Structure 1
Amino acid sequence: MSPNPTFSLSKAKKRTTTVLFSLLAICLFILSACGGGSQQIQRPKDGILNVVPSPKGDFTNVFSPYSSTANYGSQGMIYETLLFFNRMDGSVKPWLAESYKFSSDAKTITFTLRNDVKWSDGVEFTSDDVAFTLEMLKKYPSADGNGLWQTIKDVQAPDKSTVVVNLKTAYTPLLWYLAGQTWIVSKHLWANAGDPSKYADTKPVGTGPFKLKSFTPQLIDLEKNTNYWQPGKPEVKEIRYPSFNSNTSAELLLSRGGIDWTGLFTPDIEKTFVAKDKAHNKYWFPNRNVVMLYLNTAKAPFNDLKVRQAISSAIDREQIYKVAESGYEPVASPTGLVLPANQSNLHPDYANTQFKLDTAQSATLMESAGYKKGSDGIYVDKSGKKLSFNINVVTGWTDWVSACQIMAANLKAIGIEAKVNSVAFNSYFSALQMGSYDMAISWTNPGPTAYYLYYSLLNSKNSAPVGQSASSNFERWMDPATDQLLTQYATTADPQKQQEALNGLQKIMVEQIPSIPLVYGATWYEYNTSNFSGWPDKDNAYASPAPFDFPDAEIVALNLKIAS
C-alpha cells in the first residue's frame, strides 16, 4: 500500500482564550509600553530573528525531528532533507542530494549526494547517514509517519556519495515523502538513540544552517552553524522562538515591531497590524488548501449527482469568502486544484471555469431528480421523507461556523433544511472517519503537486464502508475510474502521462462533484521588514512563507538579509 498523506489541523488559528505572556514577551511589552500605546519597538539590526510560528505554550526540551513534540527549528533549521519541494509552484531543488533519477520502470530512485556537507560537529556527511536514517525508520515504524517502508523494498549505499532506494512497486509520489519530508540524522550520534519518536535529542547535531544555542521552556535560541555547506549563508546570526499562549499577546508584539515573523490569524489585519507601521508591517496569505463541504455519498440523497449539483449551485461562496472568512480566503476552483500553486496543472478547458450562484438551476435539478416541495417549502423524497440534514462543524471554529450558517440559509432558500451542528473536535472528526454524518465542512491535504490532494480526497484506499474508519476520503467516493487515474499518475515518471491523469481527475471533480469545493484555506504569514529583507511574497514565492511549514522556514531564513 502506498503511504497516506499526514493530516495537519490547519484550522488552529482562532482557538485561543487565555492571554499569558512568556518572560521574554513581558519584557518586550514593558519596553513598548514605555513609549505609549502605538510606539514601535526600536531594535538594533544585529542579525537576530524573532519568530512566533503559532502560540502553543511552553516548550518541552525535544529536538528529535521524528518526535510528535519536536520543537520549532528541529525540522529544517537543524535537520535537513535530500531535496526541497516548493509547494508554491511545484518546483524541486537539490539540497543534501545534488541530483536524483528514477529508473525507466520508476521502481528505483538513485540519489547523488553533495560532497561538501558536514554535520555541525564537523563530521563528514555521507551516504551512510542517509541509509542509516531510512533503516532506522524501518526498525521503528512509529517514526515512519509517511509510511515509507510500505513502498520501499531496500536501501543501498554503494559509495559515500550515492544512495539507491529500490521500491516494491512503481510509486513516483514517494519522492516527496522520501526526499522532501524525511529528516536525515547522523549515524555516528544516532546509532544508539533507539526509537526516534521517543528520543529527546536535547543536544541536536544537524547539517542545517543553525544549531541549538540554548533552551528554556520560554525561549528556544538557535545560532548560526559555522560548518554550514552553503557558502556565506545564513546571514541571520541567531533565531529566537519565544513561547506564547495566545494569538493576542503575539499580535501585540508583532504590531509594535517586537517580532519579525509570525503565522497568526489576525482579524482586520490592515487596521490592527499594517496601519501601525505601513512601511514595515507586511503580510501575505497565499492559498494553502481547499476548504470542502463534504457530502456523505454513501447515503441518499448525496449519492445522487443532481442533488450534489443542486447543493453546489445554491451556495453563496462569495459571502463565505467576504463575511465568514473576512476576505482572506477566496472562492476555490471547481477543479479542486490549489491555485495559483497548481496553475501549471490546470487543464485549459477549465481555465475560466468558476462557480456560479444559481438557485433557479438548483430548483430545476432537484425537481428533475424527483423531489417535490411540501407545504413548508422543504423538499421531500418519493417516500415523503423531508430533506433535513445536519452540517457538522467544530464548536469554536468561528469562521467555519459562520460559513455553515451561510450555507444553511442558502440551502433553505432552495428547499433543503440544513441545521448547523456544532460539536467538539473529537466527535466531529470521529463522525468524518466513521461516516456517521450528513454534511460537514473540513480541510484537504495538499502537497507539492495536485496529485496529493486528489489522492487523499478521492482514492478508495483512503475510504471505508460506513461504520469503518476512513483515513481521508471522508465523502466515501468509491470510483474505479478515479482510482485508475490516480494509479496512472503514481506509476510513471513521464510528466505528460501524469498530466493526462490530472486532466481526468479535474473532469471528475467538475462534472461529478464527489466533494464540494468552497474557498481556499489561507497560509497565515505576517512579517516586519525593519531588520531583515528578502522575505517571500506574491512576486517572489520561493517557499511557503509560514514559519510553521518545514523545511520551507529554513529556505526563508537562508534568503533573509540584514536590512541596511
Structure 2
Amino acid sequence: MKRASRSRVSRTQLAAALGVAALFATTACSADVSASGSGSTVPGTLLVGGDNGSPTFTRNFNPFSANKRNLTTYMYEPLAVVNNLDGKATPFLASSVEQPDTSTVVYHVRQGVKWSDGKAFGAEDVRFTFDLMKKNAALDTLGAWQHIKSLSVSGDTVTFHLKTADAPAAQVLDQVLIVPEHIWKDVKNPATWTNPNPVATGPFTLDTFTPNQYTLAKNATYWQADKVQVKKIVAPAANSNLDIVNNGYDWAYTFMSDVDSTWVKADVKHNSYWYPPGGTVSLLPNLTKAPFDNLDFREGLSYALDRDKIADKAEQGYVKAAGQTGLLLPNYQDWLNSSIADDGKITQSTSKALAAFKKAGYTRRGGKLVDSAGKQLTLSITTANGWSDYLRGVQVVRQELSAVGIKVNLNQPQAAAYQESLQNGDFDLIMGSFGGSGSLYQDYNNLLNSGFKKAVGTGTSANFERYGNAATDALLAKFKATTDTAEQRKIVDRLQQVVHDQLPAISLFYGGLWGLSSDKNFTGWPTGKNPYASLMTWGSTPLLVLTHLQRAN
C-alpha cells in the first residue's frame, strides 16, 4: 500500500460504497438487438447488459451526473483505474504518479493522447476539470476538494497540495473523470447539462442512440487502440434475466437463481460466471439505543447466529459466511491478523449466546429471553423491500434469534424509506453492508470514524451504526497519515481487533459481485484465477476489461 513513483501504481482505491444487494432492475420486455445484432452474429460486437432504461433511455452522457448513462464511463477516463478487489491501480490518463510526502500528489500526464474530436489532451484539461468541480460543487461527487488545498501545472505535471497529511486522498484524485476544456468551458450549467454528444479520450465513442438502445463504436484514435478488440458495444434498455439468457449476451451483471441451470445451461461451452466478494453484509446495531449499546448484548446476538446457514440461504451458496475482522476474503487474505483465531469466523454457540445475554441482563425462562421484570425481549430488524438476498438472510436471522427466546419483528420499507431509516437512526437492527471500496483505509474509516457518526442524517454514507471511540479515531488518523506498508499492517491488525472484539457491525456474509460472461466471441474475462478486475459493468472498471479482451474468432 506504499505509494511510489512507477509506471504501474500499487495502492488502494477510494471509491463510492458498493450497494452489494442492489442489483440492476430488470424488466419482462425482450431486448431489441435487431438493429445492430447481438455479439454472436456481428463480428467484433459486444452485447452488454450494462445499462437499463426506466423503461427507456434518456440521452445523458454527463460524466458528473447521477443520472448519466452507465456506459458514459466507457468513453471518459480517469487518471488511474483501480481494481476494487485488491486496490491495485493502472495508470490511464496519468502515465505515472508520485507521492513524495503524505500531503503532496504528483501526476505525470500521459502524452500523445487526443480527444475524440482530434484535439490534443493535456495537463491543462486536468486542471480545468478540477477547477470546474471547485466552482460547481455538485460535480465533485467523490469529494476531491475536501482534500485539496491547491494544485499547479508545470508542463505535463500536475501537482496537488493537500490540506493535511492525507495519503488515501490520492485514491480520490485518481478516479475523477477528466473532461475537455475546449468543450466544457462554454457550458453554462455543467451540473444539469446532458452532454448529448460526448467528446472523450476513452476507447469508445457514442455511435447511435434511441430510447430503447444505444451503441458505442471503437475510438480509432484511442491512445491504446491496439489493446481494444471490441469494435462495437450494444446496450439495450431492457435487460431482464430472460433477455440475457436467450439473446446471447456477452457480458452482464445480475443475480440469477440457480445460475448453472439458466445462464450456464444456455451455452455450456462458453457461458460462465464469477462472484467475488464485493462487500460484507451485516446486521448493524443502533449503538445509540439500549440494549444494542451493550457489548455483552451484541456478543449474545453474534453467538446466536449460524453464519454458514445464513449465507447459504441468502446467497444460495454462491458466497461464503463472513469473518468478524472487517476484511473481505480472500481479497485481503495476506492482511489477516494472525492473532485472531480462525480468520475471525464466529461459530454459533447457544451456550455462549445465553451467557452473554445474561451479562446484559437477560435470562431464558420457559423458552423466552426475558429481562429482570420477566418481559420478553422484543426487537425489530429492518431490511429493504425487494432486496431478496437480504430478506432471505434476515429470515434465517429471525429464526435463530427466536430459537434463543427473542421475539423478532421484520420491517420491510421501500428502498427510499430504508435509506431514510439508515440516515435517521430509525432502527434497532438493520441489514446493511460495508467495505468493498478497494481501500482498506476507506473500508475501516467508513465503518468506524466517529466524525461520520456525527454526520449521519446529513447524507453521509458511512457509520450508520453510530460507533464512536477516541482510540479507534486515533488509529484511523495514523492510517491516514502514513505510506509505510509495515506501519499500515500494524494499524490494520489493530482495526481488525476492534471490529472483532467490539462488534460495531455483526458480519454475516459476503455480498457477491454478480458477473456473467461468455467467451464465445471474446476471451480474457476476469476470473478467480485472473482477478485483474471484477465483472462490474459500470464505473471505470470496464476500462480494465475492455483493454484486456481478445477476439475469439
Match of 1:143 in 2: 139
CA offsets, 1:370-413, max 9 Å, x none?
A: 322344x3223345553210001112222212211111111121
Larger deviation, residues 496-505 vs 535-544: 496-505
Match of 2:289 in 1: 299
> How many Å separate the matches in 2 of 1:293 and 1:374?
26
> How many Å separate the matches in 2 of 1:199 and 1:469?
24
> How many Å separate the matches in 2 of 1:315 and 1:150?
40
Q: Indicate conservation of the 8 Å contact 1:143/1:195, yes or no.
A: no
Distance 1:466 1:202, change over 3 A: closer
Residue 466 of structure 1: CA displacement?
9.2
Find out whether 1:316 has 2:306 as its counterpart: yes
Which amino acid counterpart does residue 264 of structure 1 have in structure 2?
T
Match of 2:382 in 1: 392
> How many Å separate the matches in 2 of 1:372 and 1:356?
21
Residue 448 of structure 1: CA displacement?
1.6
Find out whether 1:216 has 2:210 as its counterpart: yes
Match of 2:8 in 1: none
Residue 453 of structure 1: CA displacement?
1.6
Instruction: Give the 3-state SS of the residue equivalent to 2:96 in structure 1.
Output: strand
What are the residue-to-residue correspondences of 1:26-105 with 2, within 5 Å? 43-44=40-41, 46-53=43-50, 55-56=52-53, 57-75=55-73, 77-104=74-101
What are the residue-to-residue correspondences of 1:102-117 with 2, within 5 Å? 102-104=99-101, 106-117=102-113
Q: Indicate conservation of the 8 Å contact 1:87/1:543, yes or no.
A: yes
Residue 470 of structure 1: CA displacement?
5.9
Which amino acid counterpart does residue 11 of structure 1 have in structure 2?
A
Distance 1:10 1:353, change over 3 A: closer
Residue 353 of structure 1: CA displacement?
3.1
Q: Indicate conservation of the 8 Å contact 1:465/1:476, yes or no.
A: no
What are the residue-to-residue correspondences of 1:179-198 with 2, within 5 Å? 179=174, 181-198=175-192
**What TM-score does the superposition give when structure 1 sets the normalisation length?**
0.91
User: Which blocks of at least 5 consecutive residues in structure 2 are unaligned?
Assistant: 1-12
What are the residue-to-residue correspondences of 1:151-550 with 2, within 5 Å? 151-159=147-155, 161-179=156-174, 181-244=175-238, 247=240, 251-256=241-246, 258-350=248-340, 352-375=343-366, 377-382=367-372, 384-464=374-454, 471-548=461-538, 550=539
Q: Indicate conservation of the 8 Å contact 1:463/1:471, yes or no.
A: no
CA offsets, 1:538-560, max 9 Å, x none?
A: 10111121212x21112111111
Q: Indicate conservation of the 8 Å contact 1:53/1:264, yes or no.
A: no
Instruction: Give the 3-state SS of the residue equivalent to 2:334 in structure 1.
Output: helix
Residue 355 of structure 1: CA displacement?
1.9
Q: Indicate conservation of the 8 Å contact 1:25/1:242, yes or no.
A: no
Residue 54 of structure 1: CA displacement?
5.0
**What TM-score does the superposition give when structure 2 sets the normalisation length?**
0.92
Q: Indicate conservation of the 8 Å contact 2:18/2:279, yes or no.
A: no
> How many Å separate the matches in 2 of 1:280 and 1:379?
53
Distance 1:10 1:193, change over 3 A: farther
Residue 214 of structure 1: CA displacement?
1.5
Instruction: Give the 3-state SS of the residue equivalent to 2:226 in structure 1.
Output: coil
Which amino acid counterpart does residue 240 of structure 1 have in structure 2?
V
Distance 1:367 1:466, change over 3 A: farther
Equivalent residue pairs, number: 539
Instruction: Give the 3-state SS of the residue equivalent to 1:409 in structure 2.
Output: helix
| Aligned counterpart in structure 1 of residue 33 of structure 2, from 9, 24, 40 | 24
> How many Å separate the matches in 2 of 1:5 and 1:213?
29
> How many Å separate the matches in 1 of 2:305 and 2:484?
38
> How many Å separate the matches in 2 of 1:140 and 1:183?
15
Residue 89 of structure 1: CA displacement?
2.1
| Aligned counterpart in structure 2 of residue 551 of structure 1, from 516, 540, 553 | 540
> How many Å separate the matches in 2 of 1:182 and 1:196?
15
Larger deviation, residues 224-233 vs 234-243: 224-233
Instruction: Give the 3-state SS of the residue equivalent to 1:489 in structure 2.
Output: helix
Q: Indicate conservation of the 8 Å contact 1:47/1:235, yes or no.
A: yes
Which amino acid counterpart does residue 365 of structure 1 have in structure 2?
A
Residue 145 of structure 1: CA displacement?
1.1
Q: Indicate conservation of the 8 Å contact 2:323/2:343, yes or no.
A: no
Match of 1:38 in 2: none
CA offsets, 1:340-391, max 9 Å, x none?
A: 222232222246332201111101111233322344x322334555321000
Distance 1:352 1:68, change over 3 A: closer
RMSD across aligned C-alpha pairs, in angstroms? Answer: 2.3
Residue 283 of structure 1: CA displacement?
0.6
> How many Å separate the matches in 2 of 1:536 and 1:97?
23
Distance 1:260 1:503, change over 3 A: same
Residue 501 of structure 1: CA displacement?
1.6
Which amino acid counterpart does residue 20 of structure 1 have in structure 2?
C
Find out whether 1:120 has 2:116 as its counterpart: yes
> How many Å separate the matches in 1 of 2:252 and 2:520?
14
Residue 535 of structure 1: CA displacement?
0.8
CA offsets, 1:107-128, max 9 Å, x none?
A: 1111111112111122211110
Instruction: Give the 3-state SS of the residue equivalent to 2:209 in structure 1.
Output: strand
| Aligned counterpart in structure 2 of residue 130 of structure 1, from 110, 122, 126 | 126
Instruction: Give the 3-state SS of the residue equivalent to 2:33 in structure 1.
Output: helix
> How many Å separate the matches in 2 of 1:557 and 1:9?
23
Residue 479 of structure 1: CA displacement?
0.7
Instruction: Give the 3-state SS of the residue equivalent to 2:227 in structure 1.
Output: coil
Instruction: Give the 3-state SS of the residue equivalent to 1:103 in structure 2.
Output: strand
Distance 1:114 1:13, change over 3 A: closer
Distance 1:9 1:211, change over 3 A: same
Q: Indicate conservation of the 8 Å contact 1:90/1:341, yes or no.
A: no
Residue 231 of structure 1: CA displacement?
4.9
Residue 415 of structure 1: CA displacement?
2.3
> How many Å separate the matches in 2 of 1:283 and 1:506?
31
User: Which blocks of at least 5 consecutive residues in structure 1 are unaligned?
Assistant: 29-40
Match of 2:6 in 1: none
